[in-house]
Structure 1
Amino acid sequence: MSDIQKSWDTIVVGAGVAGLRAALDLKNAGQRVLVLEARDRVGGRSMPGTIAGQTVDFGGQWLGAEHHLFREQAERLGVEIYPQHTEGNNLVSFDGGVQPYSSQLPKLPWSSLLGLGLADQFLQNDLRKMGDAAPWMVENAAELDRESLEAWIGRKVHTKGARELIQLIAKAILCAEPSEVSYLFFLEVLRQGRGLNTMIGVKGGAQQDKFIGGAWQVPKRMADQIHDQILLNCPVHAIEQDASEVRVICSQGEFSAKHVIMTAPPALAARIRYEPALPAKRTGLIRRMPMGCVIKIHVAYPTAFWRGNGLSGAVISAERALSMVFDQTPPNSEIGILVGLIEGAHAVELSEIGPEARREHVMADLVHYFGADAATPLEYVDHDWTQETWTEGGYGAHMPPGVMTTYGEVIREPHGRIHWAGTETATQWMGYFEGAMQSGIRAASEVLDTTSS
């Protein structure tokens, strides 16, 4: 983009799903919109990669059964959808051994399954008490917020297997250790995601479908519709506003508008200088919402050998670094691909040791799960999201104990001409593309409502 104009109706900071949807809605309403993106690409936490000649998602990839906004957007853009492969037995690694299972729950000692069922009942009871109220407004919100999820698990779950499984589920959802997360925040994530079973489920759950060619195509095709209004390699340094306009100062100059929509993750939004300064609660909030830690791996094989062995490719493990594995084989492909996730403290540890040592750990875990057939892949690739300068982790940000009831009420509250979006600000499906899409629609509506009043 050359000779770009300096004055716009709205400037959107961030070309991820939230920012692109907000920009498209505003453009379709007749506004002149500029999108500023710090990276050299669009997509945010959606990102393409390749392995063995196949394009895969290095970022988010799944489409839940109830992710209606993102599904509709993909269908409008012609991105095809197919179901996550589930045929065959799943595997669970527990107490050093690996066991197959075909039911929704893995094979654990009966006492552990009983403890898991009781824990789920406790969660359901607390979710019912929340009702539809904002989380910081529910009865005993301060008490629920003071306690970490780890402390809650320690109080409510009394068998080793059940504790480890709930900790694994929490890390899989949040990419953070249970000790780092408020129990009230975890409840809000569960409420937005339709409960624990839906969030961890495949058929009817949050991992039901994927996209042929990758989810990254959705934001890419969104961006193609406004490509001449997107400025890449343009991190924002400062936002200044007064009674008449807002000025955004970035590495490629200064631009003015009537409104700004900020979609950057909280930790990155906190790096920006604001004049006048943000309110104390807003500053406190974005400084106290760290990103989770996650490394995503793909391993390609000559064939999907696990299918021939009667396995689905799905693995869960509370004791190995590679805690979650799924079949990632493309439709009608001759090769087989596994995708895995390393989360929380394991991601921190394996980020520190570097890619070669990390590969050794991952391959050892895959051999532990699938046997010698897993030892000789065609190719291995991984992507360490903790090392992404303009993301600092994934999948989303979380709130440590005490943050939600002290600062949380301002998460969607505009500050003058600045409006806030991004998946962390969603009221449904926070942490997912669906939540990002919802937040972009809301923020665009806020701007349009303000300009029409």
Structure 2
Amino acid sequence: MSNPTDADVIVIGAGPSGSYAAKLLHDQGVKVKLVEAKDRVGGRTWSSKTEALGGPIDFGGQWIGETHVLLPELGAELGLETVSSVKPGNDLFVFNGDVVVGDEDQAPSSASWTDELARSFELLDEEGARLGWAEPWASPHVGDLDTLTVAQWLDQNVQSPEVRMIHEVMVNILNGASTTEVSMAYWAYFVHQGEGIESLIGTRSGAQVAWFIGGMGQVTELIADKLGDDVHLNWPVTRIEQDQTGVTVFSGERKLAARFAILATPPSAGSRVIFEPPLPAKRAQLQA
């Protein structure tokens, strides 16, 4: 006989990925529990509740890209509407207090560094294309790239201080780290997954073309409303035990049992969980 369970599946982490996984299971009639360490759902998406400035403000992930398909469909299902985030006007490049003006969504044609910027973008996209989508670790180029930081790659391929500064800003914005801290193999693959650097950074096309009216945080909040009492906030997972009968998830002295568990946390959070039996070494290394 199997042990009694609290759910068929426990989803750990109520960010967009975990919340969506829980919704999909719930909609198929699967008994699911969604547990979250914070006092709110949303993870890296977070919309304020204030109306002081005319409406909610997104403090985390917020944009819908022009190639996104599932997110707008999910928003429509939840009753959300979108609005264009595209704003007309010139682009301003500020280097050490000097302002250079470019036409809408274009680098300034008169600048001495414009051609090198375009070429550096081409080189970056080529590096990503060499790694490929499916198995970048199997590429014959990955070893050489992984021995370089982005800063070292820029040393080899970029001369203009303005172009280098643009690359450094892009890496910092998209990774929350400096070019000296990021592997060139990771960065090239990241860019390739994002359909190229211009798609990733574009504000009039590409990955940033629309918002949900009322904020992106509504997506997980509406899913949480749908799940009701099956959402457990302030529930940081400390230990996960698995045996032939299923899985038990602990938060200190509290515990929930299920047939399966889905771990949908950032790697840094997953690395703090004790697993019994331990995760395979390669899997543990991914979140170390």
TM-score band by shorter chain is over 0.9
1:76-108 CA distance string (max 9 Å, x none): 111111111412223221132223332323338
After superposition, residues 295-444 of structure 1 pair within 5 angstroms as: none
Q: Is the 8 A contact 2:125 2:192 kept in 1?
A: no
Q: Which residue number corresponds to residue 22 of structure 1?
A: 21
Partner deviation per Cα, 1:141-181 (whole Å, 9 max, x = no partner): 11111211111011111111111111112222212111111
Q: Which residue of 2 aligns with 1:203?
A: 204
Question: Could you report, residue by residue, the CA deviation over 1:109-149 in whole angstroms, capped at 9, with x for unpaired residues?
Answer: 64321221221221232233233441111112111112111
Question: In 2 relative to 1, CA 108–165 (structure 1 residues): closer, same or farther, beyond 3 Å?
Answer: farther
Deviation at 1:70, TM superposition (A): 0.9
Aligned mates of 1:38, 1:132 — CA distance in 2: 32
Q: Take 1:238 and 1:26, find their aligned partners in 2: how far apart are those partners?
A: 23
Bigger CA drift: 8-17 or 202-211? 202-211
Residue 151 of structure 2 corresponds to which residue in structure 1?
150
Hey, what's the Cα distance between the residues in 1 that align with 2:262 and 2:54? 38
Asked whether 1:218 is paired with 2:215, we answer no
Q: Distance in 2 between matches of 1:235 and 1:192?
A: 31
Partner of 1:136: 137
Deviation of the 1:6 alpha carbon? 5.0
Bigger mean CA deviation after superposition, 127-136 or 14-23: 127-136
Residue 14 of structure 2 aligns with an amino acid whose one-letter code is A
Is residue 199–residue 206 contact of structure 2 (8 Å, CA) maintained in 1? yes
Determine if contact 2:105/2:204 at 8 Å carries over to the other structure.
no
> In 2, Cα distance between the equivalents of 1:53 and 1:197?
31
Match in the other structure for 1:9: 8
2:114, 2:173 → 1: CA distance? Answer: 19
- Partners of 2:53 and 2:279 lie apart in 1 by 48
Distance in 2 between the 1:15 and 1:119 partners? 38
Alpha-carbon contact 1:48-1:56 (below 8 Å) kept:
yes
- Whole-angstrom distance in 2 between the partners of 1:54 and 1:125: 42
- Contact 1:108 / 1:161 at 8 angstroms: preserved in 2? no
The match for 2:266 is 265
- CA separation in 1, counterparts of 2:24 and 2:135? 27
Consecutive unaligned residues of structure 1, counting only runs of 5 or more, are 288-453
- Where does 1:153-232 land on structure 2 (aligned, <5 Å)? 153-232=154-233
Matched AA of 2:15: G
8 Å contact kept, 1:270–1:286 = yes
Equivalent residue number for residue 36 of structure 2: 37
Bigger mean CA deviation after superposition, 19-28 or 249-258: 249-258
Identity %: 34
Tell me the CA shift for residue 252 of structure 1: 6.3
Note if contact 1:238-1:249 (Cα within 8 Å) is conserved in structure 2: yes
Aligned residues of 1:248 and 1:255 also touching (Cα < 8 A): yes
RMSD of aligned C-alpha atoms?
1.8
- Corresponding position of 2:61: 60
Q: Is the 8 A contact 2:11 2:262 kept in 1?
A: yes
2:90, 2:105 within 8 Å by CA — same for their partners in 1?
Answer: no
Residue 251 of structure 1, CA deviation? 4.0
Distance 1:272 1:131 in 2: 32
Matches within 5 A, 1:220-259: 220-251=221-252, 253-259=254-260
CA distance in 1, matches of 2:239, 2:96: 52
The higher relative CO (CA closer than 8 Å, separation ≥ 6) is in 2
Whole-Å separation in 2 of the counterparts to 1:203 and 1:107: 16
| Counterpart residue type for residue 90 of structure 2 | N
Q: Give the SS at the match of 1:10.
A: strand
Deviation at 1:266, TM superposition (A): 0.4
Aligned mates of 2:45, 2:228 — CA distance in 1: 17
What secondary structure, in the 3-state scheme, does the structure 2 residue paired with 1:34 have?
strand
Once the two structures are superposed, the pairs formed by residues 76-155 of structure 1 within 5 Å of their partners are: 76-107=77-108, 110-155=111-156
Contact preservation (8 Å) 1:47, 1:59: yes
Contact 2:245 2:259 in 1 (8 A): yes
When normalised by structure 2's length, the TM-score is: 0.92
Distance (whole Å) between structure 2 residues aligned to residue 172 and residue 33 of structure 1: 35
Counterpart of 1:19 in structure 2: which amino acid? G
Q: Which residue of 2 aligns with 1:277?
A: 278
* CA distance in structure 1 between the partners assigned to 2:134 and 2:284 by the alignment: 24
> What is the CA deviation profile of residues 291-310 of structure 1, one whole-angstrom value per residue up to 9, with x for unaligned ones?
xxxxxxxxxxxxxxxxxxxx
Compared with structure 1, are the counterparts of its residues 107 and 61 closer, same or farther at alpha carbon in structure 2 (3 Å cutoff)? same
Whether the aligned pair in 2 keeps the contact of 1:109 and 1:161 (CA below 8 Å) is no
- Measure the CA separation in 1 of the matches of 2:79 and 2:27: 19
Q: Which runs of 5+ in 2 are unaligned?
A: none
Distance (whole Å) between structure 2 residues aligned to residue 225 and residue 170 of structure 1? 37
Q: Separation in 1 of the partners of 2:15 and 2:133? A: 29
What is the number of residues matched between the two proteins?
A: 283
